[in-house]
Structure 1
Amino acid sequence: MQVVGVTTQQEVYIVSRERKFCINEFLVMVDEDLGDPIGEVVETLSYNRLIPMGLDKSIVDAQVLQTLQQIGYDVESEEINLAKVRLLEEAIHPIRTGSMVRLPHFDEVRHLLIKTTPQEGMVLGEIRGTDSLISSMTEDLHDQVVMMEQGELRAQHGVPFLFDIRTMQQYPHMGIFGGSGSGKSFGLRVMLEELMKLSIPTLVFDPHFEMDFCDAFPGLDEKAKPLQSQFIRLAVGKEIGISFEELTTNDLINLLRTVGDQFSEAMTNVVQMLHKQKDSFTSFSDRIANLVEALEEGNAFDRPSKRDSISYAEGQRAIDLQELKKKYGDLPLASIKGVRWRLMRLERAGLFQQDIHSVQRGLEQGKLVVVQGPSWILQVFANYVIGSLYRKRREYKDARMNGEEGHFFPPFVIVTDEAHNFAPKAIDSPAKAIIKEIAQEGRKYGVFLVLATQRPTLLDETTTAQLNTKFVFRTVRGTDIATLKEETDLTQEEGKRLPYLRSGDTFVSSAAYGRTLFIRIRSAYTQSPHLLNPFDELRELQASKTEELVNLLKAKMPFFDTDLVMVLADINRELNKNWDVVRLKEELQALGRSKQIKIKETPFATRYEKVK
């Protein structure tokens, strides 16, 4: 391997007759004056006699071709392998053309690739282009990951990618970006498995109901088993919710503000006037309902005819309503009804039937807590639960800074898929304010974000700018690619590759590494409950229903057209159908065509019988 063409302080071209170059592999330029600088292959191609030279628009230019001919290459007939190599550190002067090139020893590049140990770091995958380093790699890095290629498990072939979670103290927050089918959700699952392995308290918002870690991936049962006790799954409105008695007036205002459209100043004033400390949901909602009734009744009870026709209990209630009207009569009725509508919508979603103590307990035990529910409920709940837990952590840290003891609450990680719904750009959402606050200040208190989204362009820009580590999977949209190139150090060549990445391949742009790495995410130890292909699911359901129908029909065979009404009654009763005779005949004809039953025409009627 040799350096050819015109070289610069940043880039060189490498040629070889025998060896094909791998994208992202490391090479050492033998140049004693520069201390044998190391570079990374960013583009590569091969020429042979079947490709006319000079007709392409590739990395090869006239100077490279001229150099190849001068050093003895027959560019018209030989197969020539070429690579464009970007130096990891800018040289003080260009590398000498003709310099020899060799593969590095692992010790020469270890500091570039390994930042922690497998025991203390997150073992997320395999660094692409490092296959040549496996023979010189230290023993502690072997057999750390199981990889998935073409649907088959394989052993580790390169250097494992170990993410040092401790660097988040200096470079906080992660972003995981990629289009549908890119492996984004798969990568997020692997990351959560590693957080469980390290017993790091993690709060996950799962709008797709897929973050379940009970089912082991076939062949990886031993690796999955320790994770099954490290997570809990909670549904909003069933196992967890919001304790109304613990809400302050400001908490309640912020909660109601998340429901519906504009929450007016008049509505804010209504809540401030009507909400009392330690109110239960019943007491607060009754107070609002009674006030609405009092304002709608007006002065009806003041009329003598009305007073004379009511009972004593009704009279006492009328007095109470008049007191409410006298005390709060200046509040606008429309605003009171607006508050009531928002309150009842939250109550119907089950939000006030539980509390967040199980979430808090799970984090204190170092577990991964998965919160599941419909997207809009998760957004409302996230605003409350993140704010509450963040305050607990912040109060503890502030107390320690002031020399006080404080009640310990652990540092924790907040993870969400579809992050552009939780913190969208240019528009408000329930959890946007608290997520932005944590993005900007959470590092000081040990609270970190991991945000995954298919559309980085739609994510709040302030939040995106604070994500110091970004995992970039296959992305097709030009606007999203442009956003990612602005927010990362992806080169032009890497940007061109984004639409063509395989599922599970990702660029990792991290301030902790100071450069972009190209990795393949390891196989997850657990599998999603939504793994079954929907078309296979449809086929299985159809086959099951058909089998039930055939078994029932065979039990009654043989029968004739004249018996269909009787057969239909049994089918509708036993299979819970609502068919008519026409539908039954259509099903019988379909079963006949598939040869599951036999249909025989007789002079008098059609006969249906079993297949012999």
Structure 2
Amino acid sequence: MKVLGITTQQEFYVGSKDRNFRINEFLVVEDKQGDLIAEVVEAQTFNRYIPLNVYGDFVDASVIESMKALGYDVDEETIYIAKLRLLEEALYPVETGSDVRIPKFSEIKNLMLRTKKEEGLVLGVIRNTDSLYDECEDEFKDLLYTFEERGLVKQREIPFIMDLKSMHQYPHIGVFGGSGSGKSFGLRVLLEELMQKEIPTIVLDPHYEMDFSDCPDYFKDEKRDFNGSFKCLQVGVHVGVKFEDLTAGDLKNLLDASSPLSDAMNNVVDVLFKNKDSYLSFSNRLQALTEAQEEGSVQRIQQRIENAKNNDEKEAWEVRKDLFIQYDKTCPYNSVKGILWRLRRLYNEGIFSKDSRDIENYLKEGFLVIIQGSTRILQVYSTYILNNIYHKRREYKDAQYKKAAADYFPPFIVVTDEAHNFAPKGYESPSKSILKEISQEGRKYGVFLALATQRPTLLDETITAQLNTKLIFRTVRASDIDTIKEETDITSEEAKRLPYLRTGDVFISSAVVGRTIFARIRAAYTISPHTQNPFDELKQKKNEGDEKFMRIISDKLPILGTDLLNTIIEIERDEKITFTQDELIQKLENLYKNNLIGRENTPFGYMYTKL
């Protein structure tokens, strides 16, 4: 392999007669400046049937001439040509004619492996490093499996191990990729690694898929049990908000999550909400004020008091009168009514039925805590819980700095799928506010983000810019590719490959490494509860229905078409199930079509029989 054509300090071409090149593989140039490590960014193959000048944008006349001078017969031989880019810019242009060779593992170890497996997250393998695997140290071998065309394959390439400790200097992770690209699979692998390291993590799961209880069939011999490492908690069922612990700011954030509060609504909460209010006391105060405002004046309320039928009614209207006199001018009726409506909606959704102590306790024990609910409910609840636990961690670190006493709260990672719903670009939302604060200041307090989305273009730009490590799976939309190019060091050649990446292949752009690595995510040890093919589900349910009905009518066969009514009566008596005559005929016909029963023609119509 030789360097060809006119070169620069950064890029040059390499030719070979007998070895083809692979994208993203590493090669060493034996230059006068010393051994220079470079990466293949483009590769082409030419032979006599494809003249070199066909691809004028890839090779130029200088490349062709240097190939002839170096002894390549461009008219007869098959020629392999690659464009290489140095990992570190050289002092001078690379010398044409320099030899190029495959590197030794020791030469690129520091580029590939920046931490030990015990201190990092083993996410997958670095593509096209199989030639170096045999030289690899034993501690980096046999760590994982990957899925290839031929199925589950044992590790044969150098592992990609993410340096967890480096997040203190280069915080936050982004996981980008379109539907079916392997994004959710990659996120699952990341969470498995965090569980194995016992890193406290809180996950917002709007799809109810981040459950780690089930082991896939392909890993039954090497089953990993995560049941003691994670907890799934549903908002309104297992966790919620203790109303008495809310501040006015917390309450406004919760109410604001449905849609932005007006200035008048904010004022209503500030004026009417009292410290240590219960849901009942606050909602009753709002209700009483709206009823007083509906009367419209003190005089009409006084008439209500005078016409009261008993002391309880009189006292209730006196309370309304006091509220009206005190708050009518500062709290407009429509704003009070709007706050009351939002408050009751949250209550009906179960937000105030539980507290959040379980989440805090599990995080302190190093658990992965999965918060499940609809996207809207999670937008509401995450506003409260993330503010709450982030500021507990912040208060602990601030107290530590001031040498004051404070309850310990551990560092943790916040993970969410569909992140653009929680931190949207172009408009404000309460959950976006806390996520933006964590993205900008969380590193100082040991709080980090891992945000996954199919649409990086729709994610808040300030947050996207703070994601120092980005896992980029197959992406098709041009606007999303443009965003990725702006936010990473991915090259134009790599950007062109994004729409065609195989499921599970990923570009990892890391500020720690200082360059983009082409990798493949390892096979996960667990499986999502939503992996069953929906068409297989349809077939399974139909078969179950047929089997159930077969058990019901098997002892009643044969059944004559004229005897259907008696059969229906027997089924209702024995099984407590009611059919119409048409429904029974349809079910019998389905069993016949599926070759479970026979059917004969008789003078009185069909007769259904056992096979």
Same fold by TM-score greater than 0.5: yes
Deviation readout 1:279-308 (Å, 9 max, x if unpaired): 11111112222222233345556449x845
Cα deviation, residue 535, structure 1: 1.1
Contact 1:53/1:76 (<8 A) preserved: no
Q: Distance in 2 between matches of 1:491 and 1:570?
A: 74
Look up the SS of the partner of 1:392 in the other structure: helix
Q: Which amino acid aligns with 2:401?
A: M
Q: CA deviation at 1:156?
A: 1.2
Deviation at 1:586, TM superposition (A): 3.3
* 1:367-407 deviation line (CA, Å, top 9, x unaligned): 11111111100011111000001111111111122222322
SS at match of 1:431: helix
Aligned to 1:426: 426
Q: Structure 1 residue 271 and structure 2 residue 285: aligned?
A: no
User: Quick one: distance in 1 between partners of 2:503 and 2:417?
Assistant: 17
Q: Which moved more, 1:405-414 or 1:179-188?
A: 405-414
Residues 105-116 of structure 1 correspond to what in structure 2 (within 5 A)? Answer: 105-116=104-115
- Sort the Cα spacing of 1:561 and 1:103 in 2 relative to 1 into closer, same or farther, 3 A: same
Question: Quick check: 1:221–1:525 contact (8 Å CA) kept in 2?
Answer: no
Give the structure 1 partner of residue 240 of structure 2.
241
Task: Give the aligned partner of residue 63 of structure 1.
Answer: 62
Q: What is the one-letter code of the residue matched to 1:295? A: Q
Query: Structure 1 stretches of 5 or more lacking a match?
Result: none
2 CA distance for matches of 1:168 and 1:562?
A: 77
Q: What SS does the aligned partner of 1:37 have?
A: strand
Q: Is the 8 A contact 2:292 2:301 kept in 1?
A: no
Q: CA contact under 8 A between 1:3 and 1:98: conserved in structure 2?
A: yes
Map Cα deviations across residues 449-478 of structure 1 (whole Å, 9 max, x no partner): 110000000000011111111111110000
Distance 1:569 1:93 in 2: 95
Equivalent residue, structure 2, for 1:438: 438
**Contact conserved, 1:421 with 1:429, CA < 8 A, in 2?**
no
Q: Which sits farther off after the overlay, 14-23 or 573-582?
A: 573-582
Counterpart CA distance in 1 for 2:341 and 2:246 is 18
1:495-526 alpha-carbon deviations (Å, 9 max, x no partner): 11111111111111111111111111111111
**2:598 touches 2:608 (CA, 8 Å); kept in 1?**
yes
Check 1:308–1:594 CA distance in 2 against 1; reply closer, same or farther (3 A cut): closer
Q: Distance in 2 between matches of 1:574 and 1:68?
A: 89
Amino acid corresponding to residue 291 of structure 2 in structure 1: E
* SS, match of residue 95 in structure 2: coil
Provide closer, same or farther for how the CA distance between residues 96 and 531 of structure 1 changes in structure 2, counting only shifts above 3 A. same
The alignment's C-alpha RMSD in Å is 2.1
Q: For residues 79-131 of structure 1, what are the alpha-carbon distances to aligned partners after superposition, in whole Å with 9 as ceiling and x for unaligned?
A: 22221111111122222222111111111111111111011111111011211
Greater shift, 290-299 or 275-284, is seen at 290-299
The CA deviation at 1:445 is 1.0
- Give 1:128's aligned residue: 127
What is the aligned counterpart of 2:293 among 292, 295, 298? 295
Name the SS of the counterpart of 2:236 in structure 1: coil
Moved more, 337-346 or 142-151: 142-151
Q: Which amino acid aligns with 2:95?
A: R
Return the alpha-carbon distance in structure 2 between the equivalents of residues 151 and 359 of structure 1.
42
| Structure 2 CA distance for partners of 1:6 and 1:561, relative to 1, 3 Å | same
- Cα gap change, 1:301 to 1:439, in 2 (>3 Å): closer
Other structure's SS at 1:600 match:
strand
1:531-576, Cα deviation, whole Å (9 max, x unpaired): 1111111110111112222332322211222222333456678888
Q: Following the alignment from structure 2 to structure 1, what is the Cα–Cα distance between the partners of residues 594 and 225?
A: 48
User: What SS does the corresponding residue of 2:54 show, helix, strand or coil?
Assistant: coil
Q: Which moved more, 1:200-209 or 1:563-572?
A: 563-572
Partner of 1:553: 553
- Cα distance in 2 for partners of 1:10, 1:349 equals 59
Structure 2 partner of 1:476: 476
Q: Does 1:192 align with 2:170?
A: no
Change in Cα spacing, 1:148 to 1:575, as seen in structure 2 (3 Å) is: farther
Counterparts in 2 of 1:39 and 1:328: CA distance versus 1, 3 Å: same
Equivalent residue number for residue 540 of structure 1: 540
Residue aligned with 1:503, SS: coil
Which stretch shifts more, 135-144 or 165-174? 135-144
Shift of 1:47: 2.3
Deviating more after overlay: 309-318 vs 169-178: 309-318
Residue 2 of structure 1 and its aligned partner are, at CA, apart by 1.4
What secondary structure sits across from 1:220 in the alignment?
helix
Deviations 1:149-208 (A, max 9, x none): 136222111111111111111111111100001111111111111111111111111111
CA drift at 1:48: 3.2
Distance 1:602 1:227, change over 3 A: closer
Q: Give matches, 1:164-313, under 5 Å.
A: 164-221=163-220, 224-259=223-258, 261-297=259-295, 302-303=302-303, 307=306, 310-313=309-312
Partner of 1:608: 608
For residues 221-262 of structure 1, give each alpha carbon's deviation from its aligned partner in whole angstroms, at most 9, with x where no partner exists. Answer: 576535321111111111110010000112112211112x34
CA spacing shift, 1:2–1:370, aligned 2, 3 Å: same
- Paired amino acid for 2:276: K
Task: Find the aligned partners of 2:452 and 2:203 in 1 and give their Cα distance.
Answer: 11
Q: Which residue of 2 aligns with 1:325?
A: 324
Change (3 A) 1:351 1:309: closer
* Contact residue 490 and residue 509 of structure 2 kept, 8 A: yes
Q: Distance in 1 between matches of 2:111 and 2:226?
A: 30
Mapping for residues 325-474 of structure 1, pairs under 5 Å: 325-330=324-329, 331-474=331-474
- Which residue does 2:515 correspond to in 1? 515
Shift of 1:417: 0.5
Structure 1, residues 388-436: CA drift from partner, whole Å, max 9, x if none? 0111111111112222232211111110000000000002223000111
Residue 582 of structure 1 aligns to a residue whose secondary structure is helix
Q: Is the 8 Å Cα contact of residues 200 and 365 (structure 2) preserved in structure 1?
A: yes
% identical equivalent positions:
49
Tell me how far apart the structure 2 counterparts of residues 92 and 403 of structure 1 sit (CA, whole Å): 50
Q: Determine if contact 1:258/1:429 at 8 Å carries over to the other structure.
A: yes
Classify the secondary structure of the residue corresponding to 2:193: helix
1:40 match: secondary structure = strand
1:145 and 2:144 correspond: yes
The one-letter code sitting in structure 1 at the alignment partner of 2:235 is V
Structure 1 CA distance for aligned equivalents of residues 141 and 87 of structure 2: 25
User: How many Å apart are 1:591 and its aligned residue?
Assistant: 3.1
Partner of 2:80: 81
Distance in 2 (CA, whole Å) between partners of 1:140 and 1:602 is: 77
1:54 counterpart SS class:
helix
- How far apart, CA to CA, are the structure 2 residues paired with 1:328 and 1:568? 68
Contact 2:416/2:450 (8 A) holds in 1: yes
| Preserved CA contact (<8 Å) 1:190 1:522 | yes
What's the CA shift string for 1:135-160, capped at 9, x where partnerless?
A: 22122211122222136222111111
CA distance in 2 between partners of 1:345 and 1:577 (Å): 39
> SS at the partner of 2:292?
helix
Opposite residue 287 of structure 1, the aligned amino acid is R
Q: CA 1:37 to 1:577, structure 2 compared with 1: closer, same or farther past 3 Å?
A: farther
* More off after superposition, 113-122 vs 128-137: 128-137
Q: Which moved more, 1:11-20 or 1:455-464?
A: 11-20
SS of the residue corresponding to residue 462 of structure 2 reads helix
Equivalent position amino acid for 1:285 in 2? S
Cα distance 1:263–1:519, how it changes in 2: closer, same or farther (>3 A)? same
Tell whether the 8 Å contact from 1:205 to 1:372 is kept in structure 2 after alignment. yes
* Partner Cα separation in structure 1 for residue 218 and residue 602 of structure 2: 57
Instruction: Report the Cα offset of residue 13 of structure 1.
Output: 1.4
Q: Give the Cα–Cα distance (whole angstroms) in 2 for the partners of residues 74 and 574 of structure 1.
A: 88
3-state SS of 1:55 partner: helix
